[in-house]
Amino acid sequence: MCDNIMPFKIGLLVDKTIIFCYIMRKIIITFVKAQATTMATDEKRKQRLKKEGTLHPNPDRVRTDLLAKSPFFDANDLMQMKYEMLRSVSADQQPVAEAAHTFGLSRVAYYHAQKQYRKHGLAGLLPRRRGPKHPHKFTPEVRSFIDEQLTATDRRPDWNLLSKKIEDRFGIKVHPRSVERAVKKKKGSEP
């Protein structure tokens, strides 16, 4: 009787081991896939933040407890870290130098963010486009000159030559591609 029970117990033990291994394998595969998905998602998010100009230059310097508390907080998101830095000073009464250090930024960055936030609200924390916001060299006189030159060439201009003529006449250095874009933009806005 015992002889019959022993193989059954060994077989049951083997079956349990196989089932356990199978379950562990499934768990490990699921975990690895989740990690790979998270890593791919993190990379896509970093690329998007970089494209938007809101990728934190030093996410490794961020030392806040918020990152461990919730996946919502992302050390790579510069705008979020600026906002949390401002909030920690105003709401939590944290000193400026300490808050700046906690969020991986400088005191200068704090004061700049504070000024922009007071002036523009949350949108002030977004990066601004640097440099001229519109083609400032194309005054009405320059545009009139360009129209004259286009008429004289039957609207088939040599952009390099036109750029040189603008420089000679007005003393303004304009890239040929800028002239071309200005003409095409004006052409697109005409009815």
Number of domains in the chain: 2
Q: Are residues 69 and 110 in the same domain?
A: yes
Position with higher pLDDT, 25 vs 142: 142
Place of tokens 């000024």: 115
> For the whole model, what pTM was predicted?
0.53
Query: What pLDDT, in 10s, does the model give residues 75-119?
Result: 999 999 999 999 999 999 999 999 999 999 999 999 999 999 999
175 and 147 share a domain? yes
Report yes or no: 62 and 77 within 8 Å, Cβ to Cβ. no
* Alpha carbon distance 26, 131 (integer Å): 55
Task: For Cα atoms 75, 78, 84, give the angle at the middle one, nearest 5 degrees.
Answer: 75
Q: In angstroms, rounded to a whole number, what is the distance separating the alpha carbons of residues 67 and 56?
A: 14
157 belongs to a structural domain: yes
User: Tens of pLDDT along 29-64?
Assistant: 655 555 444 445 788 889 988 888 889 999 999 999
Q: Based on the fold, state whether residues 112 and 65 are members of the same structural domain.
A: yes
Report pLDDT for 23. 65
Q: What is the pLDDT of residue 169?
A: 92
The verdict on residue 156 lying in a domain is yes
**pLDDT at 31 (0 to 100):** 53
Given this model, what pLDDT does residue 61 score? 95
The pLDDT score that the predictor gives to residue 39 is 46
Domain of residue 71, residue span: 59-125
When pLDDT is averaged across residues 63-72 and rounded to a whole number, the result is 86
Check whether residue 101 and residue 157 sit in a common domain: no
Express each pLDDT in 124-173 by its tens digit: 888 877 777 777 788 899 999 999 999 998 888 899 999 999 999 999 99
Q: Give 1's pLDDT tier (boundaries 50, 70, 90).
A: very low
Same domain, 145 and 121: no
| 49 falls within a domain | no
